[in-house]
Amino acid sequence: MPLTKEQLANRVAKEVKSGTYVNLGIGMPSLVANYISPEIDVTFQTENGILGLGGYPTENEVDADLTNASKQTVTTLPGAAIVDSVEAFSMIRGGHIDLTILGGMEVDQYGNIANWKIPGKLVKGMGGAMDLVAGAKRVIVMMQHTSPDGKSKILKNCTLPLTGKSVVSEVFTDFARFVFENGEMILTELAKDITLDELKAKTEASFKISPTLQILE
Amino acid sequence: MPLTKEQLANRVAKEVKSGTYVNLGIGMPSLVANYISPEIDVTFQTENGILGLGGYPTENEVDADLTNASKQTVTTLPGAAIVDSVEAFSMIRGGHIDLTILGGMEVDQYGNIANWKIPGKLVKGMGGAMDLVAGAKRVIVMMQHTSPDGKSKILKNCTLPLTGKSVVSEVFTDFARFVFENGEMILTELAKDITLDELKAKTEASFKISPTLQILE
Amino acid sequence: MVKIYESSTEVIKDVVSGSTIMIGGFGICGIAENLLRALYNSGSDKLNLITLTAHIDGYGVGKLIDAKRVKSMIASYIGENKEVERQYFNGEIEIDLIPQGTFAERMRAQGVGIPAFYSPVGVGTEVAEGKEVRVINGKEYILEEALGADFAFVKAWKADTKGNLVYRKTAKNFNPVMATAGKITIAEVEEIVPAGELDPNEIDTPGIYVQRLVKGEFFEKKIERLTLKK
Amino acid sequence: MVKIYESSTEVIKDVVSGSTIMIGGFGICGIAENLLRALYNSGSDKLNLITLTAHIDGYGVGKLIDAKRVKSMIASYIGENKEVERQYFNGEIEIDLIPQGTFAERMRAQGVGIPAFYSPVGVGTEVAEGKEVRVINGKEYILEEALGADFAFVKAWKADTKGNLVYRKTAKNFNPVMATAGKITIAEVEEIVPAGELDPNEIDTPGIYVQRLVKGEFFEKKIERLTLKK
């Protein structure tokens, strides 16, 4: 069975280690925060300037001058630092962020990612995504394996304008986890009750299979 | 008569205009501050991070954590800002300082200046001087016209390692003021009772004479 | 040195049609809403804006876009404004989308006198098109140029009479860097205090970067996405 | 994430002979005197220092120089230390003197992931020798490279337990930029407070840049040039 969004967020949350600085992209990645064990001491960074992001505010705590990168009202945790955009991107571009988790429209077998533009159809802009994939020490992409009409989004070559070239460390989908190592894409986890043949049918990309293949759960 | 250091400082002080941001070099230029009229609203910057430098402290005000670029204890004025070195040099290199007044070992007719090194003899380092001459909107050099043994320090070509190439706006010496315009060095003021021939004898550089030559005083 | 103006209308009087203007803010958090209102009322058009986003329909920059008075934009994310996307696909507005960190860093370069720098961001993407690529220590980088503007519209929390600015929380964002990169930086603030009242150690933008100052007439401080604890 | 150490001796234990170390401070204002004392006592030698000045004879970096344990220095001004000048002219120490703003900017580039940038400073001087010269918009610039180090020795006033740092007055100087540029940044502070006690808006160095933290044992805070009002 492919994983639900919640199951996927729960799986990806296990990749968040104690003592790290993490930037979560908007959309599905933001769900990950809900599944991180309370024992994990992680600090969330937002590209609009918070290091030590807290939860959403109560009605009394709402402050128009305190938002996250999705423009939502938020709070900060004790020990937070609020910085300007130059400093926020110094953290990101300078290699100081341990992990970023981003959504993707397409990922290909070379570790390329596309998630900011569909020519002629949609132009949102890359925002901080290009900086994050170029600068973070580890780049996890989480996304649906196929489009609503069943086409593979894990490709031989991305068809959409790239966000980053050879930048993805690993990609988690509702079907599988692939890790990029030495220019190769390796299947390391597969959802329960999905056969390799089923996965291959849904995946345009060529990939190797890890000798220690596990269940994605 | 050539000007005394104090007379020279008094003359140069007249170049400090109200509403400007000024960085004074160490040594002779620091004397200039003493001669600025109280009506002039000038803000002094120091490259170690003060915008709004005050005077020296009383014994009670002394603070080891508050010094100027000469490493002397100082105070700040109301409305001062204290910044780190990156920001202090952003002001300097980004063209935000209106005027810098620096000492010189040599100045030549092309507006070159040397003031940081005598090969084999003295190596102090350029400190912030190269940044100041490259970044300040106006660069005034104040210096003795000749060395103690009578040699001209206003040269055809600097002999010492340069601090900056074609960067000097004007040079004030105990004998004269020269302005650099369109690649030419122009005498605009001459000390009282000094003849042009006397000045020429003391000056290796070739220079033009302003049609409105005035007395340096 | 900073000059203090009496009104937002007066302080932007010379921001004529065709001007290039940097506008601080992350979305609509920390935007100079009084200056933008005055700019809207001024009637200036063919504006070239440097702004992270297009704000939202009918508010801030969005209102200028609705009135078709924006000729071009350098931005990073315009996903929250439908009209700007429509004008873009219709060829009614020029938009140069650039990575957010590159956006910040190019303005910072302008402020600090760096004409160009090598950047690791956007290598192998559309962003690299037409740019010099250089391998440094075995890794590819692209050359990015400084980005300046005729005016910078900056919103701060407090200012003193020397033009020193202090921002509040994440309303800071791009305001400090734009203050360094505008030829004429205009700061709109909620309060102006006498010189000496702000702690010299806590100044975010030193007054040297601020040419004009005005106390904003009215702060709506809209919230883009009010989100509450469940 | 930051780790808090019990002593200056322990926190610098792996700063072995041959290490490259950035040392904050302007002259001796804002130097990590406890870390420097511990480094002196550690016996490590052949050190490569990145420090604005050579401090003064017999104090700070000066003490290491006196003991001939400094192999090389990248600095900007060494006029206050006679012994370093003597060693330099005798070929006993390598010194690379660079403009002070270039010194700051090269470390900043390292911290922010910029490998190289064009600089207006030092064009046509010794500083430009061996460097690429490029004309941009009609003006000459030289290419400067990022500058990093194995360790950064940083002195702050206060830290919280998350490693956030606050500096005091001009003791700030090069400390924040070095914190971003060291592979391992070690901060020595006068006081460590619980997370939450520092105002998030007033943090100078966010904890993400600080790997190790120690409360300094003893602050002499020497003054280089005590100058009083006449």
Give the chain D residue nearest C109 (alpha carbons).
Answer: D117
- Rounded CA separation C100/B80 (Å): 32
Residue A47 appears among annotated catalytic residues: yes
C211 interface with B at CB cutoff 8 Å: no
State whether residue D177 is helix, strand or coil. Answer: helix
CATH no., domain D3-113+147-215: 3.40.1080.10
Residue A158, in any domain of the structure: yes
CB of D110 within 8 Å of a chain B CB? The answer is no
pLDDT above 90: residue C80? no
Residue C225 has its nearest CB partner, among A72, A85, A120, at: A72
Is it the case that residue A122 has pLDDT exceeding 90? Answer: no
Q: Mean pLDDT throughout A166-194?
A: 97
- % of chain D surpassing 70 pLDDT: 100
Tell me if B120 is assigned to some domain.
yes
Whether residue C78 and residue A128 make contact (CB cut-off 8 A), yes or no, is: no
Residue B96, pLDDT score: 98
pLDDT at B122: 82
Assign residue B108 the CATH number of its domain.
Answer: 3.40.1080.10
Q: If you ran DSSP here, which 8-state letter would residue B145 be given?
A: S
Active-site residue (options: A6, A15, A39, A47): A47
The chains in contact with chain D, meaning 3 or more Cβ pairs closer than 8 Å, are A, B, C
D110 touches chain A (CB under 8 A): yes
Report the gap between the CA of C21 and the closest CA in chain D (Å). 21
Summarised one tens digit per residue, pLDDT across range D157-205 is: 999 999 999 999 999 999 999 999 999 999 999 999 999 999 999 999 9
Is residue A27 pLDDT above 90, yes or no?
no
State the burial class of residue A56 (Cβ atoms within 10 Å of its Cβ: 0-12, 13-18, 19+): middle
Q: Would residue A217 count as lying in a domain?
A: no
Chain C nearest-CA distance from B19, in A, is: 5
Where would I find the H helices in A14-122? Answer: 28-31, 85-93
Whether C126 sits inside 8 A of A59 (CB atoms) is no
Which residues does D130 contact at the CB level (< 8 Å), separation at least 6? none
**Hey, is C176 helix, strand or coil?**
helix
* Domain count within chain A: 1
Q: Is residue B175 part of a domain?
A: yes
Q: Do chains D and C touch (3 or more CB pairs under 8 A)?
A: yes
What domain range is B14 assigned to? Answer: 5-212
Q: Is the dihedral of CA D36, D39, D43, D47 positive or negative?
A: negative
Mean pLDDT is lowest, of A115-119, B18-22, C92-96, for A115-119
Q: What is the mean pLDDT of residues C91-109?
A: 97
D1 touches chain B (CB under 8 A): no
Residue A161 token pair: 């304008």
Q: How confident is the model at residue C204, as a pLDDT?
A: 98
Strands of chain C (E only): list them: 3-5, 20-23, 47-51, 70-75, 94-97, 116-119, 133-136, 139-145, 149-160, 165-166, 182-193, 212-215
Q: Is C169 on the interface with A (CB under 8 A)?
A: yes
- Candidate list B15, B39, B47, B198, residue with the active-site label: B47
Cβ separation A81–D110 shorter than 8 A? no
Q: Does A65 touch chain D (CB under 8 A)?
A: no
As a whole number, mean pLDDT of residues A20-27 equals 94
At how many degrees (to 10) do helices C100-112 and A85-93 cross?
110
CB contact under 8 A, D120 and C109: no
Contacts of C175 in chain D (CB under 8 A): none
Domain residue extents for chain C = 3-113+147-215
What predicted TM-score, i.e. pTM, was given to this entire model? 0.98
